Structure 1
Amino acid sequence: MNRYELLKSIVPVLGDTLVVCNIGAPSQELFQLADRPGNFYMLGTMGLASSIGLGLALAQPRPVLAIDGDGSVLTNLGTLATIANNPARNFVLLIVDNGSYGSTGDQPTYAGKRTSLAEVARACGCADVVECSAEATAGEVEAALAREGTSVIVAKCEAGNVDVPVITMNPVVIRQRFMDEVRRA
């Protein structure tokens, strides 16, 4: 199961969840699968989806799912310590770990070698950490969204991108419609 298939599997469990999605291919894939105002697509800023998601969760009551990649989390490992030390009651970080920098040509990451992001998250102090297969991800996301607290899910999947068009929506429009959706609740 690749990232696209993993994302497709979680779409039915998102409900009213606000979603902050990692840069490049993941955002493009999610946009093609289930574009909605409650999705914030990162078009630049590698490594910040988890940080933005945490801030959003701390600032408002709706559930927040940050979809990040192993490569992006590796570029901002401090985010895991920040998440552990600033727990939100409504935050789920989904790390899609395909062992590669998918948006830049599938170069291997250290998460695809010896580094376990689940173990790093635990070492940083994250209390609710699960590592699962791609096939189990939707169930893990659904369970995490249903409970109160901060959860980190590391979902292992195959590398590779699906050929989908780039997001042509203006970044200002993406931001504005997302902010309107956040204010709606």
Structure 2
Amino acid sequence: MTPAVFSHGDLRLYLLSLLGEAPQHGYGIIQALTDRTGGTYTPSAGTIYPRLAKLEEEGLVTKTVEGRTTVYAITDAGRAELADRAEDLVGIEQGLSDSIRLIASEVRQSVQEAMRSLRADLATAEQEERRSAKARARSAGMSDARVTSRENLQRADAVINAFRARVRTDLRRHVAQGGVLEASVVTDLERALDDAAHAVVRALAAPAP
């Protein structure tokens, strides 16, 4: 959407002032308006040429065709109108400056708001990514813990089975060789196994580091 840089009728007088500086073709006038307004206003050909035609009808400008280019120049009558409306032109220039500053301010504000919104979106995305990363880490950690627990369970089974086999073999060999198996030895064995079982229960109940 083209910003309302010129009030009604002001563009006509401003075009006349541009031609008062030097003859110009239509595209050059459009480019001059773009430059004078800092790029905030670029009129279409459909805006400029009808006004130039109107100025020509009023005898304020003339046009000369040079090949494919039409050059417009101000007439004496056009210069006389510029002189008569010098104060109006000063007001237009001042209004143009004010409009440009306002538009530039609005553009800066829009950019700043867009940047704030972008930073907020990036911050939100970063937080979401951190939460997702933590969730993935927890999930991976739980998976790793399950795998480790299964491996340790197998190791514990192997240790228990090896202990059982070793003790049974020692006891059987001792008795087979004529040795005496005192009740106190069995009692000590029961007590040791019970202590070991309690130690395992305590270790399982202790909080993870």
Q: Which has the larger radius of gyration?
A: 2
Verify same fold: TM over 0.5. Answer: no
Scaled to the shorter chain, the TM-score interval is under 0.3
Structure with the larger strand share: 1
Structure with the larger helix share: 2
State the TM-score, normalizing by the size of structure 1.
0.26
